[in-house]
């Protein structure tokens, strides 16, 4: 009998129930049934009671039984309707009409470029067609579909699992860094980030387990996609049976065709309704405020239904806008219809992502606050209005200074056109651009700049070296990076010890490739296990690195008071790295408890992810033999006192270029030939707090993990370097040459 009432059952559970029911009917006699998994009903029966779900069992209360039966039937009905409507939706997508011609084109050509409007079904349908067509050879081969963004990979995988009526992680799965939801020998369709497929070349250089590779969203031109295309071009002649599909929004298609020796382009005509474009008359200084005003203007003057999509640049901006909107909506109260605010950005915890796809209840309006992830990778139904300030956050690397920054820059014309198109999927729409018409025609670039031309290439160069590609000049690429960018990468890898003076990859370099993180972190972990002056701190360093991967969402910030959540843990901690370590260790000591997180204003879900990342890094260290080396070393470490200097040294070894020196006018970066750049400690940093409270004197050197440019150049995640000689000790060939300062 029902013991407790919980959420509605999943399809898997319903299916299990049906199976069970028929099994019971068939056998006619069962002792006890404990339905597997996280079931909401638990059946426990007397030893020799006969179970019969048809209702004439004397041990079960008839009213309970029939209520239960009815509920089950209702649910099955609903489920039936749902499945039917999913199949109807599938058939209504633009690609559906081209299923047969697409499949024959794929059969005929090894490489096919598929172009179509966003929302036409490329990402969700193409892989399914390939599965249906038998390309997976009864499950012995796989189909991979790459995505530039993690969120797209996970959300599309879950949608497709739904459409195929399977459980996510079994036949259909996803694989993104630090999170692999696939089952070996079972998964036939895998959505993955382009970076993950790139890594697979290390273990399977000809990608033998795949029958088809779909490089999706190729127009995004991420670094990983570009390098993948190069590597694929190399292996295609040896893998005649491998099918390569490159799918892209309308921009750029010809370039891909050229690259693959005139591969055919298959156009999927999309349906698109007209979108009215509105510009501001004057340039807007504060686009965030302007966007919020526009949201309320739309909300109060336009009829529902019709949801709003706003393009912002990142998590902080989105969260700020969300809070602002909620406050205003609260003040307006019942004077306006309810607004449902749904954020979406890369770091948004998965469980909160589905909100953007939920149908908007009648009489309400949904406002989706998105990064440019909603430009082409995700299709959100029901959008009628787009608000576009026309900015995007981009990584930008300046080879001459060796510095990487996240910069907010104007979008390209192609991007803002894509964004506008999002308003015209369900019917005629409107797009409000928070910039002038003049700026559209005179200031915006035509196309976005491919990432390979604006990013630090160290990691990719190292990966290519490990795959035996050393001739970087001749390696096939859609756009060649500049020579200075390449030499900077080589120089950096040499500095880290990943390449030797002859330019070949070292054992350390190969190790760094194995880690699922930037080579610099790999070096830090290697140092922590092996370097004479600081070994034995691998445990600590791995925890810090895991935390550094999630810094944006560890501490719950109160708006007015940046440090409130940290201060209870911070105590006498004067660096962010040690604060992260303390936080992790104290949580661990409390048995990874949820309530500890709550008490200390730490995000529990983020910490669970950190723990998962930490476990993976640790396993990797173990596999590479670093754990064993570290164990030997830590025996000789007396007690755990004074670990900090060792930790600092490890980070110096991995990030020698991220060091700033205190001068007369504040901190100044060192990793540059001429001058350097003035930088300040970010106000959210523990270092900033302790300086402000005069708890410590500013140290002469400081190591930072990230530079962000907002009102000025800020250093994030900082650790003061107590002694100058550590620099020389850890990276002599770099700092000796730089001296004397």
List residues binding ligand CDP (CB under 6 A).
Answer: 93, 116, 118-125, 155-156, 159, 357, 379, 381
Residue least distant from Mg ion (Cβ):
123
Given ligand CDP, Mg ion, none, residue 119, with its beta carbon under 5 to 8 Å by kind, binds: ligand CDP
Closer by beta carbon to Mg ion, 123 or else 146: 123
CB under 5 to 8 A by kind: which of Mg ion, ligand CDP, none does 357 bind?
Answer: ligand CDP
Chosen from Mg ion, ligand CDP, none, partner binding at 418 (C-beta under 5 to 8 Å by type): none
Q: Which is nearer to ligand CDP, 35 or 265 (CB)?
A: 265
β-pairing, 275-279 with 365-370? unpaired
For the bound state, the minimum distance from the C-beta of residue 120 to ligand CDP, rounded and expressed in Å, comes to 4
Q: Which does 654 bind (CB under 5 to 8 A by kind): Mg ion, ligand CDP, none?
A: none
Nearest to 630 by CA among 642, 638, 622: 622
* 163 vs 128: CA distance, rounded Å: 9
Please give the Cα distance from 314 to 319 (Å, whole number). 9
Q: Which residues contact 269 (CB under 8 A, 6 or more apart)?
A: 94, 116
CA dist 96 and 121 (Å) reads 8
Helix axis angle, 538-548 relative to 519-530, nearest 10°? 160
Whats the size of the chain, residue-wise?
741
Burial of 322 (0-12, 13-18, 19+ CB in 10 A): middle
Q: How many Cβ atoms from other residues are within 10 Å of residue 708's Cβ?
A: 16
Among Mg ion, ligand CDP, none, residue 421 binds (CB under 5-8 Å by kind): none
Find tokens 């004067």 and name the residue: 574
Minimum Å distance from CB 270 to ligand CDP? 8
Write out the residues near Mg ion by the rule CB under 5 A: 122-123
Helix (H, G, I), strand (E, B) or coil at 371: coil
Q: Which one, 122 or 190, has the nearer CB to ligand CDP?
A: 122
Neighbours of 282 (CB within 10 A): 8
Closer CB to Mg ion, 247 or 401, in the complex? 247
**Placement of tokens 């694929």 in the chain:** 232
225: partner contacted, choices ligand CDP, Mg ion, none (Cβ within 5-8 A by kind): none
- Of 422 and 646, which CB lies nearer to ligand CDP in the complex structure? 422
Q: Give 579's Cβ-side CA count (13 Å radius).
A: 30
Instruction: Rank residues 375 and 576 by Cβ distance to ligand CDP and give the closer one.
Output: 375
Residue 159 interacting partner from Mg ion, ligand CDP, none (CB closer than 5 to 8 Å by kind):
ligand CDP
> Which one, 160 or 434, has the nearer CB to ligand CDP?
160
Taking the complex as a whole, the smallest distance from the CB of residue 178 to ligand CDP amounts, in Å, to: 21
Contacted entry of ligand CDP, Mg ion, none for residue 155, CB cut-off 5 to 8 Å set by kind? ligand CDP
Q: How far is the CB of 671 from ligand CDP (least distance, A)?
A: 41
Q: Rank residues 183 and 381 by Cβ distance to ligand CDP and give the closer one.
A: 381
Q: How far is the CB of 390 from Mg ion (least distance, A)?
A: 22
Closest CB 379 distance from Mg ion, rounded Å: 7
Q: Which long-range contacts (CB under 8 A, 24 or more apart) does 354-359 make?
A: 354/155, 356/380, 357/155, 357/381
Strand order in the sheet with 307-311: 275-279, 429-433, 383-388, 307-311, 365-370, 339-344
- b vs e for 27-44, b when ≥16 Cβ sit within 10 Å of the residue's Cβ? eeeeeeeeeeeeeebebe
Q: How far is the CB of 370 from ligand CDP (least distance, A)?
A: 13
Torsion of CA 57, 61, 66, 68, to 10 degrees: -110
Minimum distance from CB of 400 to ligand CDP (Å)? 39
> Residue 120: which of Mg ion, ligand CDP, none does it interact with, CB under 5 to 8 A by kind?
ligand CDP
What is d(CA 301, CA 206) in angstroms, rounded to the nearest whole number?
A: 57
**Choice between 124 and 603, CB closer to ligand CDP:** 124
Residue among 123 and 459 whose Cβ is closer to Mg ion: 123
CB of 124 to Mg ion, least distance (A): 7
Nearest-approach distance from CB 122 to Mg ion, in angstroms: 5
Residue 167 or 290: the one with the smaller Cβ distance to ligand CDP is 167
Token pair, residue 562, equals 């940046």
Report the nearest approach of ligand CDP to the CB of residue 421 (Å): 11
- Minimum Å gap between C-beta 27 and Mg ion is 47
The b/e string for 335-373 (b: 16+ C-beta within 10 A; e otherwise) is: eeeebbbbbbbeebeeeebeebbeebeeeebbbbbbbbb
Cβ closer to ligand CDP: 161 or 715?
161
User: Chain centroid to CA 642: how far?
Assistant: 36
**Residue 181 near which of Mg ion, ligand CDP, none (CB within 5-8 Å, type-dependent):** none
Which of ligand CDP, Mg ion, none does residue 156 bind to, with CB < 5 to 8 Å depending on kind? ligand CDP
Three-state secondary structure string covering 176-194? ECCEEECCCCCCCEEEEEH
Q: What are the φ and ψ backbone dihedral angles of 720, each rounded to 5 degrees?
A: -70, 145
Neighbours of 97 (CB within 10 A): 13
Closer CB to Mg ion, 122 or 366, in the complex = 122
- Between 346 and 483, CB nearer to Mg ion: 346
Q: Which helix (H) or strand (E) holds 680?
A: strand 678-681
* Cα–Cα distance, 426 to 117 (Å, whole number): 13
**Whole-number minimum distance, CB 318 to Mg ion, in Å?**
22
Contact 17, 9 (CB under 8 A): yes
Rounded Cα–Cα distance for residues 464 and 458 (Å): 10
- Residue 122 CB, shortest distance to ligand CDP, in Å, is 3
Structure tokens at 271: 């349906």
Choice between 122 and 430, CB closer to Mg ion: 122
**Token pair 């921009």 is at which residue?**
251
The item of ligand CDP, Mg ion, none sharing an interface with residue 222, based on CB under 5 to 8 Å by kind, is none
Which of Mg ion, ligand CDP, none binds 389 (CB below 5-8 Å, type-dependent)?
Answer: none
For the bound state, the minimum distance from the C-beta of residue 425 to Mg ion, rounded and expressed in Å, comes to 13
Q: Are 220 and 145 in contact (CB under 8 A)?
A: no
């Amino acid at each position: 009998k029902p013991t407790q009432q919980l959420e509605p059952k999943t399809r898997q559970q319903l299916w299990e129930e049906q199976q069970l029911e028929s099994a019971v009917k068939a056998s006619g006699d069962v002792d006890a049934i404990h339905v597997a998994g996280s079931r909401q009903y638990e059946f426990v029966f007397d030893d020799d009671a006969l179970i019969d779900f048809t209702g004439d069992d004397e041990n079960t209360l008839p009213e309970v039984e029939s209520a239960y039966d009815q509920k089950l039937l209702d649910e099955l009905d609903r489920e039936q309707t749902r499945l039917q409507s999913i199949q109807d939706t599938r058939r209504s997508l633009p690609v559906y009409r081209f299923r047969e011609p697409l499949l024959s084109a794929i059969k005929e050509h090894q490489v096919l470029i598929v172009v179509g409007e966003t929302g036409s079904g490329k990402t969700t349908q193409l892989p399914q067609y390939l599965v249906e067509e038998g390309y997976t050879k009864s499950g012995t081969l796989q189909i991979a579909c790459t995505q530039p963004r993690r969120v797209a990979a996970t959300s599309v995988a879950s949608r497709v699992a739904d459409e195929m009526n399977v459980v996510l992680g079994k036949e259909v799965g996803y694989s993104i860094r630090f999170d692999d939801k696939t089952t070996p020998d079972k998964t036939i369709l895998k959505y993955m980030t382009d970076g993950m497929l790139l890594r697979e070349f290390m273990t399977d250089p000809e990608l033998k387990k795949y029958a088809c590779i779909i490089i999706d969203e190729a127009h995004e031109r991420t670094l990983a996609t570009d390098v993948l295309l190069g590597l694929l071009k190399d292996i295609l002649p040896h893998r005649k049976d491998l099918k390569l599909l490159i799918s892209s929004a309308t921009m750029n298609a010809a370039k891909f065709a050229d690259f693959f020796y005139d591969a055919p382009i298959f156009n999927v005509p999309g349906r698109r309704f007209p979108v009215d474009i509105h510009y501001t008359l004057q340039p807007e200084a504060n686009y965030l405020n302007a966007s919020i005003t526009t949201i309320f203007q739309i909300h109060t003057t336009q009829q529902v239904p019709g949801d709003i999509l706003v393009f912002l640049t990142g998590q902080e901006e989105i969260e700020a806008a969300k809070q602002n909107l909620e406050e205003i909506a609260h003040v307006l109260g019942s004077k306006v219809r309810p607004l449902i605010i749904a954020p979406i950005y890369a770091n948004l915890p998965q469980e909160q992502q589905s909100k953007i796809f939920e149908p908007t209840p009648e009489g309400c309006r949904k406002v989706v606050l998105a990064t440019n992830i909603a430009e082409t990778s995700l299709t959100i139904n029901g959008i009628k209005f787009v608000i576009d300030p026309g900015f995007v956050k981009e990584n930008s690397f300046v080879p001459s200074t060796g510095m990487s920054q996240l910069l907010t820059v104007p979008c390209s014309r192609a991007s803002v056109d894509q964004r506008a198109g999002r308003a015209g999927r369900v019917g005629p729409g409107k797009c409000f651009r928070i910039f002038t018409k003049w700026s559209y025609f005179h200031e915006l670039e035509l196309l976005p700049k491919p990432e390979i031309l604006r990013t630090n290439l160290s990691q990719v160069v190292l990966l290519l070296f490990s795959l035996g590609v050393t001739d970087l000049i001749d390696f096939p690429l859609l756009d060649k990076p500049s020579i200075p960018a390449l030499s900077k990468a080589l120089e950096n890898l040499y500095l880290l010890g990943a390449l030797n003076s002859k330019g070949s990859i070292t054992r350390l370099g190969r190790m760094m490739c194995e880690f699922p993180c930037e080579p610099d972190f790999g070096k830090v972990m290697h140092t922590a296990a092996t370097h004479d002056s600081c070994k034995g701190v691998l445990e600590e360093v791995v925890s810090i690195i895991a935390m550094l991967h999630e810094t944006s969402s560890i501490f719950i910030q109160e708006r007015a008071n940046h440090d409130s959540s940290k201060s209870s843990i911070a105590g006498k901690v004067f660096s962010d790295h040690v604060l992260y370590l303390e936080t992790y260790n104290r949580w661990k000591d409390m048995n990874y408890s949820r309530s500890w997180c709550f008490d200390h204003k730490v995000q529990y879900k983020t910490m669970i992810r950190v723990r998962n990342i930490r476990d993976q890094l640790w396993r990797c260290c173990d596999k590479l033999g670093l754990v064993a080396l570290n164990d030997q070393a830590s025996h000789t470490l007396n007690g755990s006192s004074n670990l900090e200097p060792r930790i600092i040294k490890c980070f110096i070894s991995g990030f020698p270029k991220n060091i700033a020196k205190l001068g007369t006018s504040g901190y100044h970066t060192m990793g540059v030939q001429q001058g350097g750049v003035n930088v300040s400690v970010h106000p959210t940093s523990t270092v900033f707090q302790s300086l402000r409270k005069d708890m410590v004197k500013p140290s002469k050197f400081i190591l930072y993990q990230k530079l962000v440019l907002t009102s000025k150049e800020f250093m994030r995640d900082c650790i003061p370097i107590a002694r100058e000689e550590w620099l020389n000790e850890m990276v002599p060939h770099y700092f000796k040459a730089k001296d004397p300062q």
